[in-house]
Amino acid sequence: MIIANGVIYPLIKPAGTGLDDDGKPVKYDAQWGEEIPCCARPNTYSSQGRKDGNTFTIASYTILIDKQEFTAKRIKYNNNDYPIISVEPLEAVNMLKIMI
């Protein structure tokens, strides 16, 4: 059982374009899965990045979720979407460790 301090949403279908039944191009939005309770811990978090006068945030997290089927390549956490770096099963505690 996880002690949750947040939720993640796995990406089911990325945003992009496709063709409708008539062969005309259509744009579709990303489809996110149902929320999954998680325990997240920041590895790196810095809002001091600057480039060409603009500021940006650098962040990476370790996220723990209860063990389940998980095949997503991206997740949404804290209203931002992140690519998944790795997913590692933790057999001793029956959880998955996700690095983003």
User: Is residue 17 one of the residues assigned to a domain?
Assistant: no
Residues 80-97, mean pLDDT to the nearest whole number: 93
Which structural domain, as residue segments, surrounds residue 60? 1-11+41-100
* Structural domains in the chain (count): 1
Centroid of chain to Cα 99: 9
With contact defined as beta carbons under 8 Å apart, do 3 and 21 qualify?
no
- What is the pLDDT confidence band of residue 53, given thresholds at 50, 70 and 90? confident
Structural domain contains residue 3: yes
Which of 100, 84, 90, 85 shows the shortest CA–CA distance to 68?
90
Three-state SS at 46: strand
pTM of the model: 0.79
Domain membership flag for residue 27:
no
**pLDDT > 70: what percent of the chain?**
100
